[in-house]
A and B are shown apart, each in its own frame.
Chain A
Amino acid sequence: MIENNEKIDNNQHSILLVEDDPNDIILIKRAFKKANIGHSLQIVENGEEAIAYLTGVERFNDRSHYPMPALILLDLKLPRKSGHEVLEWHQKQPGIRRIPIIVLTSSKRKADINKAYDLGANSYLIKPVSFHSLLNLIQDLNMFWLNINKNPEINAEGKK
């Protein structure tokens, strides 16, 4: 599935999913499994944890367990810190800001979409209601963002 050329290190194999809805977590995990995506899925449940994960603090200080992700899937409506706040923070972190962020949310609101892009989101996807559509979406996402798209080097080793 993944082209194993030497440039890809272990860190690039993970995807960070920021999602608070346990049902959505189960269904997204299932879609990943069904789509045969080899990247490991790391999950945090709010904006604050997402920031902690990316900075590598608190329980996330071990990068062998919590590797830097190649991609971030971010919900917008999150407890503690919203997805927009995570985007805002992400934009200001050298190194970390290179990691592409794909917003994956139910909001079709123009204002939310515009704000996400203004804050540096790389893509904006709507969670479909039907599981089949979700599976198609995850397959397309894998195809484009993990295969076609050329991703950057992530050189920030946790703390700034």
Chain B
Amino acid sequence: MKNKIERFNIEQIIETIQRIAAGDFTARIPIAGKREPYDAIVTGINMLGEEIEIHTKESEEHEEALLNMLEDVNEARLVTEGAKDALMESEEKFRLIAETSSDMIFQIDRKGNFTYCSPAIKKILKISPDDLIGTNFKHYFTASELPIITQAFQHAIMGKQLDPLELLLVSEDEILTPMEFSLVPVIKNDKIIGVQGIARDITERKRTEKQLQKYHKHLEELVEERTKQLQETNEELEAFAFSVSHDLRAPLRAMEGFAQVLLEDYSTKLDAGGVEYAERIIDAANRMNNLIDDLLSYSRLSRAEFKLKNVSLGKVVKEIISQLEPRIKEKEVVVEIKTKLPIVKGHRTTLIKIISNLIINAMTFVAPDVKPKIRIWSENHNGWVRLYIEDNGIGIAPEYHEKIFRIFERLHGIETYPGTGIGLAIVRKGIERMDGTVGLESDEGKGSRFWIEVKSTRAKDND
């Protein structure tokens, strides 16, 4: 019997019950060996303990959740209070900005009546915000600009994006102030309840703009005036050239013509000296005529405006040679064109003048007993065409290579080689007007190789 009781250890049972009662729901009666007849009691107590333990745990968890919730609520309350403060603060900020801004800040309801306006209105319209509130915006614009602001208001109320508008604001005493308006819709609960905006006084800006315009206009007038002066000068030069070409030729014709009459009708009364003098008059008249021609070409080249077009060098040279045919035959000149000449960017008439001057020079400046031989060819370099005209003439010493291009420069007496001293000046002026260059390779007694360089029609190539 005693053994049996010992097996269950009554003290252990009591202790366990006491522990559970004290709240230790994890306490259990240790089981060793057979459990009869107290088995059921012991098992029952243990099950009870287990049951209590589970329930207690659940309730603890519930409590914790509740506590957490409370904490959240508390926090939320704190946040809301902070937001309220922030809102108040920003309202204060906005109020400060609006109240102190020199820009007019305003709100208008859907009917177009003011619901708010910053004090800046006082400076501009000379009325207080209170007087403005409730009145319609249409009262404050000029009749001509009313349609513009009305349309802008309508667009803003429809939620359309608007560019800033420059409009005049009219005060009660009819003073006009230029303002720049920016309008945006006021949205509340997804609905547009009105329009708010900023209006800035742009009097100063307008004044500056006006001043700038005035300067601009003044500058334009100045340019126009100068252009007119230039045109006048050009016209005067043109008239001068006209006068030269017309009036100077008339006496020349008389000199030449009457000297001719002397030779024809009075030859019996003239001795050899008289005949020679008459012939000299004729020569001089013809030379002066050439001089006038060359001077006019030169002055025209300096003034003329010309557009560069595609010109076939081949055709130009062919045309010049056919023009010079009588002289070529007379002097027994051999002209050899060595390459197919390309198309260049140039001014046709000027190119004809330049190249024919060079060819005429090539056949003129030869030793008396030499038959002129002229070779013409072209080369392409980086978008430029270089045309060479080479002769077997008397050549030019290097120290004169620069000088010969100056107007009226001559290296030989008129009796030895004819010429006006303007031919190469025309070549240089003409080539410069086409943005090209001219040069020569030559030495005394070794012939001359003149070249001109003009823009190619092809971009960049070599051949």
Contact = CB atoms under 8 A, between A and B. Distances in A.
Interface of A: 21, 23-24, 26-27, 30, 77, 105-109, 112, 127-132, 134
Contacts of A109: 241-242, 245
Nearest to A34: B264
A127 B245 contact: no
Interface residues of B, number: 20
A127 B260 CA distance: 16
B424 to A, nearest CB: 22
A129 B246 contact: no
A106 B253 CA distance: 10
A33 to B, nearest CB: 12
A122 to B, nearest CB: 21
Given A107-B246, A109-B242, A23 B254 contact: yes
Given A106-B245, A108-B245, A109-B242, A130 B250 contact: no
Interface string B239-272: 0011001100111111011101100000000000
Contacts of B261: 30, 131
Contact of A106 (B250, B256, B285, B286): B250
Given A129-B256, A132-B260, A23 B242 contact: no
Contacts of B253: 23-24, 27, 106, 127-129, 131, 134
Contacts of A134: 253, 257
B286 A130 contact: yes
A149 to B, nearest CB: 26
B289 interface: yes
27 contacts: A21-B254, A23-B250, A23-B254, A23-B258, A26-B257, A27-B253, A27-B258, A30-B257, A30-B261, A77-B246, A105-B246, A106-B245, A106-B250, A106-B253, A108-B245, A108-B296, A127-B253, A128-B253, A129-B252, A129-B256, A129-B285, A129-B286, A130-B260, A130-B282, A131-B253, A131-B260, A134-B257
Contacts of A130: 256, 260, 282, 285-286
Which of B253, B282, B285 has its CB near the most chain A CB atoms (within 10 A)?
B253
Contacts of B249: 106, 127, 129
Interface string B126-164: 000000000000000000000000000000000000000
Which of A21, A109, A128, A129 has its CB near the most chain B CB atoms (within 10 A)?
A129
Which of B250, B256, B257 has its CB near the most chain A CB atoms (within 10 A)?
B257
B246 A106 contact: yes
Given A109-B242, A134-B257, 8 more contacts: A24-B253, A27-B253, A106-B246, A106-B253, A108-B245, A109-B245, A129-B253, A131-B257
Contacts of B251: 23
Contact of B245 (A21, A23, A30, A107): A107
Nearest to B304: A110
Which of A107, A127, A130, A134 has its CB near the most chain B CB atoms (within 10 A)?
A130
Contacts of A129: 249, 252-253, 256, 285-286, 289
Nearest to B252: A129
A66 B165 CA distance: 81
A65 to B, nearest CB: 29
A148 B241 CA distance: 36
A27 B264 CA distance: 13
Contacts of B241: 109
A24 B250 contact: yes
A107 B249 CA distance: 9
Interface in B262-311: 282, 285-286, 289, 296
A24 B252 CA distance: 10
Contacts of B242: 107, 109, 112
Contacts of A112: 242
A64 to B, nearest CB: 33
Nearest to B285: A129
B455 to A, nearest CB: 25
B257 A23 contact: yes
Interface string B115-132: 000000000000000000
A129 B288 CA distance: 10
Contacts of A128: 253
A103 to B, nearest CB: 13
Nearest to A112: B242
Contacts of A30: 257, 261
Contacts of A127: 249, 253
A105 B247 CA distance: 11
